[in-house]
Amino acid sequence: MSEQEEDLIYRMYRLVGERWDLIAGRIPGRKAEEIERFWIMKHREGFAEKRRLHSRVRSKTSR
């Protein structure tokens, strides 16, 4: 997922909740199942540390 797609998913989730078909409809080439899988992976505890590390790397490279 690109950073823009992730941003759109988060914003749409705040608006419509777990209506993956509506969210996927806003992202060309993505299916509802892909969006839901992405959301689950991002919010599982096992991936929390990886997400934090990835965020640190992104913030360092964007400076």
CATH of 3-61, one of 2.60.40.10, 1.10.10.10, 3.40.800.20, 1.10.10.60: 1.10.10.60
pLDDT at residue 57 tops 90? no
Q: Give the mean model confidence (pLDDT) for residues 7-23.
A: 95
Domain boundaries, the chain: 3-61
Contacts of residue 4, Cβ cutoff 8 Å, sequence gap at least 6: none
pTM of the model: 0.67
Rounded average pLDDT over 11-32: 95
Residues above pLDDT 70, as percent of the chain: 70
For residues 21-29, give the mean pLDDT. Answer: 95
Rounded alpha-carbon distances, angstroms, from residue 54 to 4, 20, 25, 49: 16, 25, 27, 9
